[in-house]
Amino acid sequence: MSCLVMGIVNVTPDSFSDGGRHLDPEAAVAHGLRLRAQGADLVDVGGESTRPGSVRVPVEIEQERVVPVVYALSDAGAVVSIDTMNAGTAAAAIAAGARIVNDVSGGLADPDLLAVVAESRADVVLGHWRGHSREMYAEAHYRDVTREVVAELRERLEAAAAAGIAPSRVVLDPGIGFAKRGAQNWELLRGLPQLVGTGARVLVGTSRKRFLADALGGEVSEGRRDLATSVTSVLAAQAGAWAVRVHDVVATRDALRISDAWQNGTA
């Protein structure tokens, strides 16, 4: 199987999942290097929280946070993706060495983002999205969540192609938790092979998300969310995902290794 692991480096004071521990650029770089040493194939640097209800960050502040971190990690040899919805931040991060632009809005939040990617050599992750964090649950209405998400992501793939980005440079992401409520996320994950069936590479991000805690009965520790994440990541890999985006690289790497041993009949 060989599913890549993308480690998360949040450079935000308000990220729900790491408490903003990596706001200091040096600490963020050290964290990224640690994730790489733990086996992350990619490190994803983000300066704007997308947690439900979060407030937008001015683009200058986002760039101040992420650009030095992208530069230092790329300089150290890491393959860096920049988690941003802003064309300006994408351009600055690409100039600092980022090889992938990870846009949870699929190019919808900033109409210039796809053009920035097209002019570069970077790949792009296009997430399924229906609106900014503050309003996204108002858009969480689906008749058939998998069919609608796949159709809307196909449209984003076409928008990318129209902007001059070859489909081979695009990664699609179902946007777990983005304009989706608990059960819709599970239905969508069950339907993941349909997204893989588009022929595009697929990235799945379940790490520490609320729907995992809800499935375990409510408020659970970070450790239990990480264990749940390693299970969903293995299942995503088995469904054909190209990569999984996680906070706890050790747990997910171990889980993928054990699952590979099972499938190959040898460790």
Active site amino acids: 209, 245
Strands 201-204 and 42-46: unpaired
Piece in contact with ligand PMM (CB under 6 A), picked from 30-38, 45-53, 61-69, 259-267: 45-53
The closest alpha carbon to 106, from 213, 35, 195, belongs to 195
Using the rule CB under 6 A, is 157 a contact of ligand PMM? no
Pattern 175-214, binding to ligand PMM, x per CB under 6 A? -x--------------------------x-x-xx------
Minimum CB–partner distance for residue 51 and ligand PMM (Å) = 5
Residue list 159-178, contact with ligand PMM (CB under 6 A)? 173, 176
SS (H, E, C) 171-219: EEECCCCCCCCHHHHHHHHHCHHHHHCCCCEEEECCCCCHHHHHHCCCC
Taking the least distance from each CB to ligand PMM, the nearer of 91 and 243 is 243
Using the rule CB under 6 A, is 120 a contact of ligand PMM? no
Using the rule CB under 6 A, is 125 a contact of ligand PMM? yes
> What are the CA-CA distances from residue 167 to residues 91, 99, 160, 191, 198 (Å)?
20, 16, 8, 21, 11
Which residue in the shown chain puts its C-beta closest to ligand PMM? Answer: 205
CB atoms within 10 A of CB 112: 14
- Footprint of ligand PMM on this chain (CB under 6 A)? 8, 10, 15, 17, 49-51, 83, 102, 104, 125, 127, 173, 176, 203, 205, 207-208, 245
